[in-house]
Amino acid sequence: MIALVDQSSSPGGGADVVALIAAACAEQLRSHVAPAWGRVTSAVTALGRDAPVPAAAYPLVLFDDAEQAGALGYHAETPDGRPYGRVFVGPVLDHGGAWLEGQLSVSTVVSHECCELFCDPNVNLWADDAQGRAYAVEACDPVEADAYEVSVQGRVVAVSNFVHPAWFDARATSRRFDHLGRVHAPFTLASRGYALVRDAGVVTPVFGTSAPAPWQCNAKSFPASRTFRRMCAGR
């Protein structure tokens, strides 16, 4: 289970909006990600800021910004020592994003994190490209910034595009490599895609034709982020 914990006070949010995001992510995992990856689906539930997180759940916490995360005692773990995922709501809204609509939205960022938690919750899977390099198994990074919509509770909510397992298979041919059909071969990136590549023990980021904006890079470098954990593991 993924538990979406709302610690944000950013305008436009609240329990009903976060519950819609959780429902959209649950629907995406059930209908799209789990079948594509050949796995049993995972529940996604929304929790209030004071609600206890079930012991078996992976918490994904919505913060206003990194400063709030630090002030609440979240750095690489929750205050009770549990690893967690995080989404910074403020930067998304500050840079023109919305809560539920569009490629840049809180819902797509949450979806991105949910998909990657589902596909590699321990942040330790790598795929050999048959050329001496290994790519981090991050399901949304290669097609980052691409989004589509799912319908839940009578509303349309934007979620993140994601790659299929074939993307990580150097021998794969004539298969669908991502949900929206944006890439057409293993280990290739969408225009604003991103990947971490390990070569001779050194982990470096590679980008499509456009690198992420500085504020997005700052989010990736936060100590609890998946990117930060991958980079540190490669040292």
Q: Which two tokens stand for residue 92?
A: 């998304």
Query: Tens-digit pLDDT profile for the chain (235 aa)?
Result: 899 999 999 999 999 999 999 999 999 999 999 999 999 988 999 998 888 888 888 899 999 998 898 888 777 777 777 778 899 999 999 999 999 999 999 999 999 999 999 999 888 899 999 999 999 999 999 999 999 999 999 999 999 999 999 999 999 987 899 999 999 999 999 999 999 999 998 999 999 998 788 888 878 888 878 888 888 765 4
Up-side HSE of residue 164: CA atoms within 13 Å toward CB?
Answer: 19
d(CA 197, CA 38): 25
Handedness of CA 179, 183, 184, 187 (dihedral sign): negative
166 closest CA partner among 141, 137, 191, 145: 137
Which 8-state DSSP code applies to residue 80? T
pLDDT computed for residue 30 by the predictor = 97
Residues 6+ apart with CB under 8 A from 46: 4, 6, 15, 18, 19, 21, 22
Please, are residues 64 and 33 in contact by the beta-carbon 8 Å criterion? Answer: no
Tell me, rounded to whole angstroms, the distance of Cα 222 from its chain centroid.
Answer: 14
Give the number of other Cβ atoms within 10 Å of residue 198's Cβ. Answer: 19
Report d(CA 43, CA 25) in Å as an integer: 9
Q: What is the DSSP letter of 224?
A: T
pLDDT at 78: 79
> Residue 18's Cα: distance from chain center in Å?
16
Other residues' Cβ atoms within 10 Å of the Cβ of residue 16: 9
Q: Which residues of 53-89 are buried (b: 16+ CB within 10 A; e: fewer)?
A: beeebbbbbbbbbbebbeeeebeeebeeeeebbbbbb
